[in-house]
Structures are given as C-alpha cells and as structure tokens.
Amino acid sequence: MERILTQETIKYLGKRVRVCGWINSVRSHGKIIFVDLRDKSGILQIVFTPEKETLYQIARKLKPEYVIGVIGTVEKRPEKMVNPKIKTGFVELYPLEIEVFSKAKQLPFPINTSGYEISEEKRLKYRYIDLRRERLRRNLEMRQKVIHFLREFLIKEGFLEIETPILTKSTPEGARDFLVPSRLYPGKFYALPQSPQQYKQLLQVAGIEKYFQIARCFRDEDPRADRQAEFTQLDIEVSFFEQEEILKLVERLILNLVKELFPQKRISQIPFPIISYQKALEKYKTEKPDLRKTPSDHDELAFCFVVDFPMFEWKEKENRWDAVHHPFTRPKTEAISEIKKNPGKILAWQYDIVLNGVEIGGGSLRTYKKEVLEAVFEVMGHKKEEIWEKFGHLLEAFEYGVPPHGGIALGLDRFLSILLNEPNIREVIAFPKTGDNRDLLMNSPAKVMPEQLKELHLKIVKEKKSKT
Ligand code: ASP
C-alpha cells in the first residue's frame, strides 16, 4: 500500500491509509497507548487499545525514534481530545497493521528543544540526529527557498548560471589555499577555489555578460567563530555595468527576497544608504556600521553599502602593500605612475554590503587594462615573470577583447543566519565544521593509507601530535 504523509491523513477521514516515520513520543493513558508518529511533514497521533491484543503487545515495546510503518483507519478525535496546535489535531489513526523497520538507542540529546542548550561538539558529532530538530529542518527549508528565489530572480533578469571548477589554481582572495596533490603530475598541485573570481572574469571575456553561481568557496583560514573553511556564496559578474547599476541590482534582489520570504522583517532604510569608507570610519568608527534604529529588535534589517575603499593597505608583518579587496579590483585612477608612486592614496571601485553591522558581501569593478593590472601586482611586490606565471592566463585573455566588467559575492550562510535570527552560520549549514575546522561527524581531517600517500608522491616528514 502506498505511503502517505501524516499531514495528508486529514483528507482521508474514515479511510484506510499507510503512514511511516519516527516515533516522536509514546504515552500511556490508563490502558490506552498514544504514539505520536513524526515524518517530514509533521506529527500524527496513533491510538493503540488493549482489544487489539497483538498490536497492543507490539505497541507496549515501542520507544521514541523507532522507525515504523502503520496501516490504519483515520478517525475523528472525540471533541475534548482535539489538539488545535497541530494540523492533524482533530484526527487520529486506529492501527490495523504495524511494522517496526528499525529500533533506536536512546538519543544522545533531546530533539524537541531549540538545541542551543546542548554542547555543540555533541550536536555536530550526531548531526543527523540534531537535524531532526524542527528548528534546523526549518532552517534547511528556508535555505532552499532563498536559493530558489535567487535563482529564479537572476534567471528572469537574463543571468546564466555556470558551474566553475573546484580543482583549480590558486586565486588570491587574501586567505591560504587548500591544496590537492596531483597523482598524474608529481610535485604539482591543484588549489580549491577561494572564490570563482578568475573564472567569472574569464566568462566575461567569453561574452556571457551576466553570470551567477551558487558557489562553494574554500579558504584555509585560522579558526574564527563565524567562519567556515568552506562556505557558499551567491557569486555574480556582469559586463558593461557601472558600480551604481551593480548596487541597484543587489538592492532589488534583496528587497524582493525579503518581501517574498521574510515579510515579517522591517527594512530600516530604502534605498539602502551608500556610505564612503572614509565617512564610515569617521562617523561610526567601523567599516561595518550597524544602522539599526533599535538593535534589540529581531525583525529589523539595516542594509547599507560601503564604497570607495582604499585600493591598497600596508601589511606591516609582510612589509608590503596588499590589495584591500583583491588585486583584480579596479583602482579609481588609471595613471600607472600614480598607482606605483602613491599606492596608499589610491581609492578603488570596491563596495561592501553590510547588514546589521555584519559584512554580508562585497565586490568591485575589475581592472580590464593589462598594464594597470600588472602595475597593481607590481605594487603588491610580485615580479614580472611571477605575474605571468601566476596570472598569465588572465592577462592573455585580456588581449582578446575584454569588456569592462565587475561583480559581487554575497555570503549566503551569513546572510541566512541573520535573516533567520541565528547566532552563527553553523545553524544554517547542514553539515558544518567546528570553529577549528574539524568535521566531528566524519572525523575529518583524518589520516590516509600509506599507499595513497605514495601514489600522490607525498611523504609525511614529521607527525605532530594532533588535537584529536
Ligand atoms: N571574489 C570576491 C570574494 O569572494 C567577490 C567579488 O569580488 O566578486 O569576496
């Protein structure tokens, strides 16, 4: 018999149906046993009475989280037993057959609470149990809705969604790369993308004009509470857009998203204020101002754009200039001598989008003039040969007809965690790592077999005692 969802039973009054799921709770009232069955749609009450001896004996042994299938008849509940809090609250199932698919040990923690009170180590180790929690299921559902919305919106605006490689070459986004050794090319490595930056620019040279991707990015950064080694961006790149047009696009996208999926939220200011980096520092003492009128209000969203960042910043430790955003950002001047002479004074076509004091995205117009890009790399301390070795593919591509272009990336995990009032991004990711980059569920990073290392031409020089 075909299985239906528990929430569909309300359409089958008096009929025989089959439902499957997990046991949410078992309660005895006198001689009657009530089993709440949970599936992805919600909860349904099943009533076992002593008259049906065999079924009753099975029911007596049922425990929470057992997985069962039940065939039974849907009946109206007696008036005073109606539970208005749940959708199936006016019906209950009288079983005719039951099958116990699997038993379950006592769970390591409760799943009928918010979960915030449980140690995160435990929650992540048993994430598949943690995810049974209603709050997390809702977060995953909202994540899908948001991604679906973004896709639809951008496709309607003429954007093309394109997947770019995961095994690629280092792209400088200011973090360390994750490297993947090549078996076929001894001593050579792929890098996991810190972002699809160079590919999305190459797609502009390819004439795509409007690109987007829900992109996974990888950055080997030191542990920070609100960072993950891998995270998801809404990555966008367009040709022939000015900065203002890109900001307008993002604003429109966000306004529509909030209106459609988070109608209870109030946006403090529309259009989103545009503040210069300098002004932000002077007035708010931060480049990520929190412009909420009532910061304790959960439903207030205060967006702003911060623009006109300096192109370079001096890295004391490394004794060199570095790009504030990334080297592909277009300086506000194209005078090469000025860029080289006064790097600290040059501004960039760079913009961040800030929400409630958190940077949720950033982007820039890109340098599409080869000489300017070379000058930027030079300021950052790269030698000419090195520039060509590392970025020759891009510089060469720019010799075959490159449109002026620019883009932005929104950190989806972070954006979502704010929209959902979650305290950190791990609450909106199905299988996050710990703050110090461990996957407690899979127990990774982990050792590999000596044969694997050999195939990859790798040798572990010295094994340090690891934390785990
Ligand atoms: N690639 C940049 C980042 O990941 C975003 C951009 O410039 O479009 O931050």
Residues 159-204: tens digit of each pLDDT? 999 999 999 987 777 789 999 999 999 999 999 999 999 999 999 9
CB 346 near ligand 1, within 6 Å:
no
pLDDT at residue number 464 = 67
Average pLDDT over every residue of 214-232: 89
468 pLDDT above the threshold of 60: no
* Res. 462 pLDDT band, cuts 50 70 90: confident
* Res. 449 pLDDT band, cuts 50 70 90: very high
CA of 445 to the centre of ligand 1 (A): 27
CB 456 within 8 A of CB 188: no
The dotted CATH code for 6-102 is 2.40.50.140
Bond from prior residue into 172 cis (ω within 30 degrees of 0): no
CA of 362 to the centre of ligand 1 (A): 6
Distance CA 63, CA 61 (A): 6
Phi-psi region of 298 (alpha: psi -120 to 50; beta: other; left: phi over 0): alpha
Kindly state the tokens that stand for 82: 């109606």
Kindly state the tokens that stand for 174: 């200011």
pTM for the structure as a whole: 0.94
Sequence letter at residue 267: I
Distance CA 331, CA 367 (A): 7
Sequence letter at residue 301: L
387 pLDDT above the threshold of 90: no
CB 151 within 8 A of CB 144: no
pLDDT at residue number 295 = 77
CB 311 near ligand 1, within 6 Å:
no
CB 198 near ligand 1, within 6 Å:
no
CA of 311 to the centre of ligand 1 (A): 14
Average pLDDT over every residue of 33-38: 98
pLDDT at residue number 455 = 96
Minimum CA distance residue for ligand 1 atom 8: 408
Average pLDDT over every residue of 416-434: 96
CB 173 near ligand 1, within 6 Å:
yes
Query: Across-strand partners of 461?
Result: none
CA of 307 to the centre of ligand 1 (A): 15
Distance CA 423, CA 127 (A): 18
- Which CATH fold would you assign to the domain 137-428? BirA Bifunctional Protein; domain 2 (3.30.930)
CB 246 near ligand 1, within 6 Å:
no
CB 204 near ligand 1, within 6 Å:
no
Question: Is residue 29 packed enough to be buried (19+ CB in 10 Å), middle (13-18) or exposed (0-12)?
Answer: exposed
CB 364 near ligand 1, within 6 Å:
yes
* Res. 395 pLDDT band, cuts 50 70 90: very high
Q: HSE of 194 in the Cβ direction (CA atoms, 13 Å)?
A: 15
Residue 178 DSSP one-character state: P
pLDDT at residue number 466 = 57
CB 95 near ligand 1, within 6 Å:
no
Sequence letter at residue 295: P
265 pLDDT above the threshold of 80: yes
Residue spans of the domains in the chain: they are 6-102, 137-428
425 pLDDT above the threshold of 90: yes
CA of 264 to the centre of ligand 1 (A): 30
Distance CA 403, CA 164 (A): 20
SS3 category, 19: strand
Average pLDDT over every residue of 334-356: 95
When the pLDDT of each residue in the chain is averaged and rounded to a whole number, the result is: 95
pLDDT at residue number 407 = 98
pLDDT at residue number 390 = 86
